[in-house]
Amino acid sequence: MRSSIKDTTKGALHEAKGKVKETTGKIFSNVSLEAEGKAEKLAGKVQRSTGKVEKNIEKDVAAEKHRGKW
């Protein structure tokens, strides 16, 4: 599996897990769990964004190769 797909998928998973932790922390007034969830959610967003950037770079490189510029 390409790195971009892995990062996008794993990032989305971390975002979801983070949201669950954050919500659980809010429900049970667990500030630590809520903060952990927010951090994991943010890390997931960064990882997912990295995957999107990698995908765009891969597409651009493939297009340039197709045009014979590489």
Dump pLDDT digits (tens) for 15-63: 999 999 999 999 999 999 999 999 999 999 999 999 999 999 999 998 8
Using the predicted structure, report yes or no on whether residue 70 has a pLDDT greater than 70.
Answer: no
* pLDDT for residue 3: 86
Yes or no: say if 68 and 27 are a contact pair by the CB < 8 Å rule.
no
| Count of structural domains, the chain | 1
* pLDDT for residue 1: 61
* pLDDT for residue 10: 96
Residue of 63, 54, 58 whose CA lies nearest to 10? 54
* pLDDT for residue 27: 99
Domain that holds residue 14: 3-66
Q: Following DSSP, what letter does each residue of 12-68 receive, concatenated?
A: HHHHHHHHHHHHHHHHTT-HHHHHHHHHHHHHHHHHHHHHHHHHHHHHHHHHHHHTT
